[in-house]
């Protein structure tokens, strides 16, 4: 497998790095987090104009990328600024089901242009991280031009309170944890009750309640009752994006810690001169390289066969959680008390790094999925 970046991806990386370096210092991140929506819409539009949303989607959907390598490049680069604008919520989780299902091109065009936001309302209060757990229901009726009535409650919908549209999963048949019988619907956000709140590390999420929400037939995405493969594919893309973001955050934490050890002196010597601290930095660097390898492999397998895709993505997300927590803890300890202050940049990167483990499945969840899909792979070989 060739891991060399193409010319287009290298240019995308350089453009993003330049924007983060020149226009998105930690002070900008701090200011954007304090906004009512949890991010800056002007910044979101600027980043969309640079092509960063379009890079997450394939040409047939109006984008110019959409491969696993594109997601990895974009999210690792965005991590260097701890960007809070809704790339995961709108550019991946929200836009991908719409792009794959087809139709509603005007909505997708607005999302790519940074003029509209779309959120993926799938997780539920009792669902834990189970991708097939859906208790929300969709009933077909066809009264007065309305074909579907949706009822249910969704939880931890990323940027759900600021979205213009929601992609809602609902069950048309089967039990709450079955893969069969799931459908996806495009819902105008104003038709749902939304209760937004701040997330721990910055940004926003929402509880979404749908009470007798009535939709026309064209708001069904794809075939009724057959949406689980698309849901699983969307969650895999989200997990890869988070793993790549975690990798970028780890690199920032490592670099900041290394610089601190070179400049901070104790007993007349730089902290980095002490062998015990050198060993801890080496261990950190080795763990980060292991995580990088897993992200690169998952990115290369994202468009492949389902079992291999899910296995490698879960491996990457598991390592993102385990190694991410290790790097965050080591960086904070090696910095001492200054790393815990709001004004110091490391605190923001470390907090986001730890919280990534709790999005779209933690390390235990993905370890179990990795083992399950490894057994499937062995059985089929």
- The string of pLDDT tens digits covering residues 339-377 is 878 778 899 999 999 999 999 999 999 999 999 999 999
> For residue range 71-80, what is the model confidence (pLDDT) as tens digits?
999 999 999 9
The confidence band for 322, taking pLDDT boundaries of 50, 70 and 90, is very high
Confidence at residue 264, expressed as pLDDT on a 0 to 100 scale = 84
CATH number at residue 308: 1.20.140.10
Pair (88, 26) in one structural domain: yes
pLDDT bracket for residue 267 (50, 70, 90): confident
> What is the 3-state secondary structure of the chain?
CCCCCCHHHHHHHHHHHHHHHHHCCHHHHHHHHCCCCCCCHHHHHHHHHCCCCHHHCCHHHCCCCCCHHHHHHHHHHHHCCCCCCCHHHHHHHHHHHHHHHCCCHHHHHHHHCCCCCEEEECCCCCCCCCCCCCCCEEEEEEECCEEEEEEEEEEEEECCCCCCEEEEEEECCCCCCCCCCEEEEEEEHHHCEEEEEECCCCCEEEEEEEEEEEECHHHEECCCCECHHHHHHHHHHHHHHHHHHHHHHHHHHHHHHHHHHHHCEECCEEHHHCHHHHHHHHHHHHHHHHHHHHHHHHHHHCCCCHHHHHHHHHHHHHHHHHHHHHHHHHHHHHHHHHHHCCCCHHHHHHHHHHHHCCCCCCHHHHHHHHHHHHHHHHHHC
Mean pLDDT of all residues in 115-128? 95
Residue 143 is predicted with a pLDDT of 61
The pLDDT of residue 167:
98
**Same structural domain, 162 and 134:** yes
In this structure, of 48-52, 111-115, 277-281, 337-341, the range with the lowest mean pLDDT score is 337-341
Within a domain: residue 2? Answer: no
Task: Mark whether 294 and 311 lie in a shared domain.
Answer: yes
- Does 1 fall in a domain? no
* 181-213 pLDDT per residue, tens: 999 999 999 999 999 999 888 889 999 999 999
Residue 46 sits in a domain of what CATH number?
1.10.540.10
Pair 357, 243 in one domain:
yes
Structural domain range at position 65: 7-116
Residue 126's CATH number: 2.40.110.10
Same domain? 33 vs 126: no
Q: Are residues 101 and 170 in the same domain?
A: no
pLDDT confidence of 145, banded at 50, 70, 90?
low
**Number of domains forming the structure of the chain:** 3
* 112 and 125 housed in the same domain: no
Give percent of the chain above pLDDT 70: 98
Q: Are 239 and 213 contained in the same domain?
A: no
pLDDT at 307 over 60: yes
* pLDDT at residue 1, rounded to an integer: 52
The reply to whether 240 falls in a domain is yes
Same domain, 342 and 274: yes
**Pair (217, 300) in one structural domain:** no
Q: How confident is residue 290, by pLDDT bands cut at 50, 70 and 90?
A: very high
Residues 177, 92 within the same domain = no
Does residue 144 surpass a pLDDT of 80? no
136 and 80 share one domain: no
Residue 358: inside a domain: yes
Q: How confident is the model at residue 2 (pLDDT cuts 50, 70, 90)?
A: low
């Amino acid at each position: 497998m060739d891991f060399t970046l193409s010319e287009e991806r290298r240019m995308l990386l350089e453009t993003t790095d330049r924007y983060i370096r020149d226009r998105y210092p930690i002070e900008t991140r701090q200011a954007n987090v304090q906004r009512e929506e949890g991010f800056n819409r002007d910044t979101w539009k600027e980043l969309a104009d640079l092509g960063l949303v379009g890079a997450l989607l394939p040409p047939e959907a109006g984008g110019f990328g959409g491969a696993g390598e594109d997601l990895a490049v974009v999210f690792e680069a965005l991590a260097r600024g701890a960007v809070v604008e809704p790339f995961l919520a709108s550019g991946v989780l929200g836009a991908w089901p719409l792009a794959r299902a087809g139709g509603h091109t005007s909505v997708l065009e607005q999302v790519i242009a940074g003029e509209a936001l779309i959120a993926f309302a799938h997780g539920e209060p009792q669902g834990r991280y189970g991708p097939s757990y859906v208790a929300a229901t969709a009933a077909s009726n066809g009264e007065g031009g309305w074909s579907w009535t949706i009822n249910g409650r969704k939880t931890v919908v990323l940027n759900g309170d600021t979205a213009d549209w929601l992609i809602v999963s609902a069950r048309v048949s089967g039990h709450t944890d079955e893969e069969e019988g799931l459908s996806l619907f495009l819902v105008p956000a104003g038709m749902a009750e939304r209760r937004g709140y701040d997330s721990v590390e910055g940004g926003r999420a929402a509880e979404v309640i749908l009470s007798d929400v009535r939709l026309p037939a064209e708001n069904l995405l794809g075939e009724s009752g057959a949406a689980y493969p698309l849901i699983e594919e969307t969650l895999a893309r989200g997990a890869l994006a988070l793993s790549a973001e975690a990798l970028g955050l780890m690199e920032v934490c490592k670099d900041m810690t290394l610089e601190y050890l070179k400049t901070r002196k104790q007993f007349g010597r730089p902290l980095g001169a002490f062998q015990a601290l050198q060993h801890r930095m080496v261990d950190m660097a080795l763990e980060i390289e292991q995580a990088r390898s897993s992200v690169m492999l998952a990115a290369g397998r994202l468009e492949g066969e389902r079992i291999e895709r899910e296995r490698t993505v879960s491996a990457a997300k598991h390592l993102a959680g385990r190694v991410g927590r290790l790097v965050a803890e080591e960086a904070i300890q090696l910095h001492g008390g200054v790393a815990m202050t709001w004004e110091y940049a490391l605190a923001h990167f470390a907090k986001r790094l730890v919280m990534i483990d709790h999005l779209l499945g933690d390390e235990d969840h993905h370890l179990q999925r990795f083992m399950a899909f490894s057994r499937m792979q062995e059985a089929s070989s």
